[in-house]
Every structure is written in structure tokens, then in C-alpha cells.
Amino acid sequence: MSLFYSSLDLPPASRFPGLSSNGAIYHERMARVLDGAAIAAEIKAEVKAEVERLVAQGIRPGLAAVLVGNVPASEIYVRSKVKTCEALGLFSELITPPETVTTKEMLALIERLNAREDIDGILVQLPLPPQVNAKQLLEAVSPDKDVDGFHPVNVGRLQTGQPALAPCTAEGIIEILKRSRLPIAGQNAVVVGRSDIVGKPTAILLLAENATVTVCHSKTRDLGSFTRQADILVAAIGKPALITVEMVKPGATIVDAGINRVTDRAQFQRYFAGNERREEAFLQKGSTIVGDVLPAAYEQAGAYTPVPGGVGPLTIAMLMANTVRAAKLRRGLPA
């Protein structure tokens, strides 16, 4: 249920937070928080139940995660992916080639994984070191095991409305909207960011759900004139707090896919002034995470995904779902 109240719904005396006649606390405008962690937990529970059914038929879906070198953020993500496999009953294998690995060695590794019967999904964590030809590598992954949805065959299938393995974050964004019962068809959706991993596939999936989709990017002139038209605003451009209050249509749904680390005190103050809990955590850790949307702008929305705890948790949940789906498709089972 949306907690959005337009100021027109309330008498003038009620334009500030207080108690209504029935005792309920109201605000002039109160955005609904879309709890990504709860939605991800729901999806993971469904995946776990499906894995149990498959295991009972002698099929244990398996994921190979390839982590090259020592990028700290990648290490955290990949370990979390492997741990989630274990928690849901999937087989997983972590492969860690050294930072100095060549394209040829990586191609040989992918070939071995493509041929393995116990591996249904292959994930090559990005970014890769500069000497490795990432495009060539992602094309070498069998499209049937491409649980990241990065292979041109899957991109093409998605684009043409055929069954495809789609990029996990984009799938997660659609799941958040659907499971929160937010309408997509006929809505003006504006995607800010055009990456192959998030922006482009999210735009394609929104279009497949019959939204009217606009894609904006770093060269878009007068970005606010587009974002203000958005009923669904997806921010996925990797620029901290780029979307400000006046760029959001009141009552819109904001999906913030940004994950930007903030270490600078003045920058922290610009984004989080007055947020005592954040400040305490920031002082303790020396950093915090901000999305692509200024936190104050969330309050302009009807609903929004927080950072952290919004889109982030969905990425791993959808990777698990894609691995199970790949396992079923490869064996000709309905998926």
C-alpha cells in the first residue's frame, strides 16, 4: 500500500507531520521504502525450494565463479555469491586466476567450464585486468551457461523478446517493481545510465513490460527535463547523488541502482546532513555508500529503493535464480 499523500489530500493545518483524528501518524508526503533485502530473501527462499526439488531428481545446479586478481570490491561480491550458493543448496566452485593471467589462459579455462557437466552457470567477475580481452572472454562463455546475461546471443534474444538469460541487476529491478505491485505497463520509465550491465538491459526489460522508456546518459542535455517526466526513475549512472530533489516528479517510483563510496567528510555532509545514524556509522568506518540519488530526493517519491538495501541484494538473488533456470533449460526442463 502506498503511503503517499499529496498535500491536496490534507487540510492546510495538516501540512506537517502530526496525528490525524484517528491517531495515525501522517506526513505531508511519506515515501514507501522498497525493501530489497526482504524481496531478495523471498526470491532466495523460492530458489532454495526449487533446488531441493531438482536435487531430489538427481540434479544439483552448479555455478563456477571466476575471480581474477585482488580487487577488494570484487572479492567481497564473489565470496558473497559463492556463500549464497552454499546457503541455497547449489554446487559452487570459486576459481581465482592470478592478476597476471593471459586472455589465452582465461579462454582455456572457459572452454573447460563450458564442457563440464556439473557446471550450469559461469560467472566471470568484472572488471578484468587490462591485458585480458573481456569482450572476447564473455563471448567464449556458452550462452546456455551465461548466467550474467552478457553474451551477445542472450543480449539479442532479450532484445527480440525470446527466452534469454538476462543481466541480474536489471532482472532484480523488474522483480522489485512487480513484487511491490507497482504498475509498469503504460508508465513513463526513465533510465539514467546506459551501461551494458544495468542501464541498457533494464531499459529493454521495462520496454518488454510495456513501459514507455527513455534512456538518458552523461551527454543528455537538461537531464531534469527528462527525469521530471518519469513515473519510474531508474538511476544507474554511477555518479553519487546526481539526481536531486527538483529532478523528481512528486509521487514517482525511484529505483536507485547506484553504489558509490563516500569517504570525504564535506561530501558526506552534503548528502547526509542531519542523519545521525549514518553519521555514527560514517565516523566509525570512515566511509559510507550513497546511491545515484540524493537521499533528500527520495522523500519526493511515492516509493524508492534505499541504498544500501534496495537494488543491491537482488543482484545475487537473481544470479541464483538464473543458475537454476540455466540448469533446467540445459536439460530441456520447463523453466
Residues serving a catalytic function are 81, 125, 148
What minimum distance in Å lies between the beta carbon of 116 and ligand GUN? 18
Helix (H) or strand (E) holding 19: strand 18-19
| Contact by Cβ (8 Å): 123, 63 | yes
Pairwise CA distance, residues 249 & 231, whole Å: 7
- CA-closest candidate to residue 67, choices 118, 132, 112: 132
Q: Helical H runs in the chain?
A: 36-56, 72-88, 103-115, 134-140, 152-159, 168-179, 199-208, 223-227, 265-272, 276-285, 295-298, 312-330
What is the spatial distance between Cα 160 and Cα 143, in angstroms, rounded to a whole number? 16
Task: State the minimum distance, in angstroms, from the CB of residue 313 to ligand GUN.
Answer: 13
- Residue nearer to ligand GUN on the CB measure, 254 or 311: 311
Pinpoint the alpha helices (H) of 193-245: 199-208, 223-227
Regarding 168 and contact with ligand GUN (CB under 6 A), the answer is yes
What residues numbered 62-121 form the site for ligand GUN, per CB under 6 A?
A: none
Q: How far is CA 172 from CA 177, 179, 226, 258, in A?
A: 9, 10, 24, 14
Among positions 187-206, residues that touch ligand GUN (CB under 6 A) are: 197
- β-strand pairing of 18-19 with 25-26: antiparallel
- Choice between 122 and 294, CB closer to ligand GUN: 122
Binding track over 263-302 against ligand GUN, x by CB under 6 A: ----------------------------------------
We find the least distance from the C-beta atom of residue 275 to ligand GUN, in angstroms, to be: 27
The minimum distance between CB 315 and ligand GUN, in angstroms, equals 6
Among positions 169-188, residues that touch ligand GUN (CB under 6 A) are 169
User: How many angstroms separate the CA atoms of 56 and 114, rounded?
Assistant: 24
Q: What mask of x and - would describe binding to ligand GUN in positions 116 to 145, judged by CB under 6 A?
A: -------xxxx-------------------
Candidates 259, 211, 220, 214; CA nearest to 239 is 259
User: How many CB atoms are located within 10 Å of the residue 98 CB?
Assistant: 10
254 binds ligand GUN (CB under 6 A): no
Report how many residues bind ligand GUN under the rule CB under 6 A.
Answer: 9
Residue nearest to ligand GUN (CB): 126
Burial tier of 48 (Cβ tally within 10 Å: 0-12, 13-18, 19+): middle
Report the residue number, 39 or 168, with the smaller CB distance to ligand GUN: 168
In the complex, what is the shortest distance from the CB of residue 77 to ligand GUN, in angstroms, rounded to a whole number? Answer: 7
**By CB under 6 A, what part of segment 144-163 binds ligand GUN?**
148
Q: Which is nearer to ligand GUN, 148 or 175 (CB)?
A: 148
Q: Which residue, 203 or 223, is less far from ligand GUN as judged by CB?
A: 203
If the CB atoms of residues 126 and 289 are measured against ligand GUN, the closer one turns out to be: 126
Minimum distance between the CB of residue 224 and ligand GUN, rounded to whole angstroms? Answer: 28
Cell representation of residue 117? 557437466
Nearest partner of 139 among 125, 150, 126, judged by Cα: 150
Closest approach, Cβ 191 to ligand GUN, in A, equals: 16
| For ligand GUN, the closer CB: 42 or 75 | 75
Which residues here bind ligand GUN, judged by CB under 6 A? Answer: 123-126, 148, 168-169, 197, 315
